[in-house]
Amino acid sequence: MIQRSLRTPMVRFLKEQLEKAGCALGDNFIKAVNCDGKVSGGYMPGLGIVVCSNHMELQDDVNQVVIHELIHAYDECRAANLEWSNCAHHACSEIRAGHLSGDCHYKRELLRGYMKIRGHEQECVRRRVMKSVTANPYCSEAAAKDAMEAVWDVCYNDTKPFDRAP
Ligand SMILES: [Zn+2]
């Protein structure tokens, strides 16, 4: 499924952009592993991406995780001074990964059919950013919230390497 995800247009685009930015992905950059806890995947700085194969059943879910984590890899590649222990840096990358990967599309589409909730996508991204950043041992809940609010506008509107949010 990881191999298949590498052939989807969005993953191919991100891979190309990483190469252009000088961060070509090695052969085993994306690995399938068994994960404890309710996580679908992760980015390990400098090491690569893991996809939690024991929690994945659908190709779409694998694609989603790969796209999300590749955006983290892209952020680390382009910003030489990115520090994951910095809650604002981490929050910024989560905002971008949540927004640009379309993590919140499915629910947004679903909800749209039943009730028109404005701003649902942003609410969904916020919730997911908080979940990720509070899992960072350097970021308390209050620190994560402050960091997210402080960088929200800049990072939500920063759609690189896309021209606009896909
Ligand atoms: Zn993330």
Residue 104's pLDDT is what?
A: 83
Expressed in angstroms and rounded, the spacing between residue 95 Cα and the centre of ligand 1 is 8
For the question of residue 76 being annotated catalytic, the response is no
Q: Is the pLDDT of residue 114 over 50?
A: no
Expressed in angstroms and rounded, the spacing between residue 59 Cα and the centre of ligand 1 is 19
Residue 100's pLDDT is what?
A: 95
Expressed in angstroms and rounded, the spacing between residue 144 Cα and the centre of ligand 1 is 14
**pTM for the full model?**
0.92
Q: In the structure, what pLDDT confidence band is assigned to residue 116 with cuts at 50, 70 and 90?
A: very low
> Which residues touch 51 (CB under 8 Å, ≥6 apart)?
1, 2, 30, 31, 32, 33, 40, 41, 62, 65, 66
**Which residue in 16, 19, 69, 109 is the catalytic one?**
69
